[in-house]
Every structure is written in structure tokens, then in C-alpha cells.
A and B are shown apart, each in its own frame.
Chain A
Amino acid sequence: MAKIRRNDKREMPALNTSSLPDIIFMLLFFFMSVTSMKEVTYKVQFQTPQATELTKLEKKSLVRYIYVGTPTAEFRKQYGAETRIQLDDAFAEKSEIGEYIINERSSMKEQDQGLMTVSIKADKETRMGIIADIKQELRRAYALKISYAATQRTNY
């Protein structure tokens, strides 16, 4: 006669977790390959405009960014709510753009210098006056390849 044996005393076998690190490493590599490092900490806040005819920026090392927007809440007191320009990690004036571009370009390899792209990341509410000023500065610094950062438009 079969008898159901209650084996309370027997311990549960330890779960084999030796493959867990491999799984996590796989996740890690996945995230490392699909994401990009944050370039800077933003001191201005912006929401890029929407467009449809977008091209991806290739070769991250050849891209420099200019951020345009209103200062974030913590800098409001100091800098006001006017639209400001951010280069690298600091606020900048329009007149500093040329110097910045030239410095950045000279730090690149010589054969790459002509391929430098400047990505303008500006808030969609920005007035064109400031954008036009930036464009003029870029022209003067011979940074002619530019890209207006935008997000894909989903609805019209």
C-alpha cells in the first residue's frame, strides 16, 4: 500500500545560483551597448522640437553639443529665467562659442577635424534670435556641419 510520507525533516536543496552572474553580465552588456553615457549634467532644461526627417548622429566622438534653454530650478535664482546657452558643464555667453569650437576642434585628430558636427539642442520654445546668433558664431568658427537635435514626431 502506497503511503504518503511526510518528510518535514528533509531540507530544501540549495538553489544553484552559479549562472546568475552570467545572466546579470549579459544584461549589463546589453545596457552598455544600447545606451550612451550622459554627456554632461544639464544646467538648462529643454525639450527638443519634433521633426520627421531625422538622421542619426554617427561617431559620438566627433559631435559637440550646444544646449539652449532656461536654467533649471536650482540656477533660477542666480541666472534668472532667461534663455541661456550651456557649453560642456557651464553656462556660456554667445561670444564664447567660437573659442569653444576652436579648442574642441584642435583637440581632435587632424583627419577628423573636418568631420566635426555641432548638435544644437535647444528648447522648442526658444526664440530664433538666439539660435541665429549661435549659427553666426558657428559660421565664423567654420563649424559648418550642424544638426538640430529633435525627436521623432509621432502624430501630426
Chain B
Amino acid sequence: MAKKIPQINASSMADISFLLLIFFLVTTSMDVNQGLARRLPAPIPPDQKVEDTDINKRNLMVVKINSANQLMVQGQLTDIKQLREKAKEFIANVNDDAYLPKLFEEDFGAPIGIIKYTKEHVISVQNDVDTQYQAYLDVQNELVAAYNELREECARKYFHKAYNELEEDQQKQIQKVYPQKISEAEPKNYGGN
């Protein structure tokens, strides 16, 4: 006759798992790590001469932020809310304006085909030493948003889908049409302290 195995008392199991649970609750943080992803330019070797990069004036959009967090776009005092529209207008140059970046024709492959795009446009962000981080990030955010909106429009137009639903190589195609070109100068003191 087999011996009956006495049942193990598992009533303390709940306490143990409660302890573990509380430990994890205390040591972990709920917040997800997210942020505005950017890429820095590679450093210039010290022995290399700094070349004067010749950028045509019409291809350049200058965004300056002063120490009072005011914004100047192309020499005009601008509100942060208008920056996105202005940037979009600048990047796309739909009407081929003479003062907006020059358009180049290129074949981007099916289904986009041969379209015009502003190949050489550059957005230059310049900030003061005393500019607030939030103001700087606002500007960066609006510029990235402008690119994202244009890419989204492009995806809807040619692929009839949202940009994030596209395949990776399709996204790359669109990125070629709207390459992100945000350059950052070294901070200077523009005054206005």
C-alpha cells in the first residue's frame, strides 16, 4: 500500500510572492524611456582646415533662438507655432519659388517615379548660450515634426498607407525624398542678456 504523502503547507507562498511583488514595485520605475532622436555630425579632425561651405542663400533656412527664448526665422521674429508651417514650406517648395530651395529632379523608383525635391536645403539652428533647453527642444521638435508630416503626406500620396505601416525600404525611399538636414552651429553669444 502506497503511503499517503502529507500535503505541503503552501499558505506562506502567498506571503513570499507578495514580498517579491513589493520589492519589484519599489525598485522599478514606470516611466518609459523616450526622447527626440538626433544624430550629431562627426567631429572635424584638428588638422583639417575648416572649409567655407558654400551654401546658396536660397537653400539655407536660419533659425536663431536668443537668450530670451525668442525665435528668429530667416531674419523675422516668429512664433514657435508658425515654425512648422514655415519649415514645411521651405523643405517642400511646392511652387518652385525663387527664394526657396532649388528643386532637383530625380528618379526615386516605383511608385514615386521622377519628382522634384529640394536636394540641397539645409536648416541651420543657432542658439545662444543662455537659451533654455525647453525652447531649444521645442524648435528641434517642430522641425522634426515638419519632416514627419511631409513624409506622412508622401506615404499617403504614393503608397496609400501611413508612414509607419510601410516596409523598411519603402520608408527609405521616402526618406530620400525628404532627407533630414538640420545643422547645428556651435553656440554663440548673440547678446540680449
Binding site for B on A (CB under 8 A): 17-18, 20-21, 24-25, 27-28, 31-32, 34-38, 48-57, 60, 63, 117, 119-120, 122-129, 131-132, 135-136, 138-140, 142-152, 156
Contact = CB atoms under 8 A, between A and B. Distances in A.
Contacts of A28: 17, 20-21, 24
B132 A128 contact: yes
B40 A51 contact: no
Contact of B145 (A24, A53, A138, A147): A53
B21 A49 contact: no
A56 B164 CA distance: 14
B13 A150 contact: no
Interface stretch (B31-39, B70-78, B107-115): B31-39
A103 B149 CA distance: 39
Interface of B: 10-11, 13-14, 16-18, 20-21, 24-25, 27-43, 81, 127-134, 136-138, 140-141, 144-145, 148, 184, 186-187
A127 B129 contact: yes
Contacts of A144: 39-42
A116 to B, nearest CB: 12
Main secondary structure of the interface of B (DSSP, over half): mixed
A22 B117 CA distance: 60
B176 to A, nearest CB: 20
B34 A148 contact: no
* Top 10 A-B residue pairs of the complex, sorted by shortest distance between their CB atoms: A35-B28, A129-B129, A147-B35, A124-B134, A21-B13, A24-B17, A51-B141, A128-B131, A126-B133, A20-B14
Nearest to B29: A38
A35 B33 contact: no
11 contacts: A25-B17, A28-B17, A37-B29, A49-B137, A51-B141, A55-B34, A63-B33, A125-B133, A126-B132, A132-B127, A146-B39
A129 B81 CA distance: 25
B132 A17 contact: no
Given A51-B36, A125-B133, 9 more contacts: A20-B14, A24-B17, A31-B25, A37-B29, A38-B27, A51-B138, A54-B34, A117-B37, A131-B133
B187 A150 contact: no
B24 A35 contact: yes
Nearest to B30: A35
Contacts of A126: 132-133
Contact of A147 (B11, B29, B36, B132): B36
Contacts of A151: 31, 34
B1 to A, nearest CB: 27
Contacts of B40: 135, 138-139, 143-146
A131 B29 contact: no
B136 A53 contact: no
Contacts of B187: 128-129, 132
Contacts of A150: 34-36, 137, 141
A19 to B, nearest CB: 9
A55 B35 contact: yes
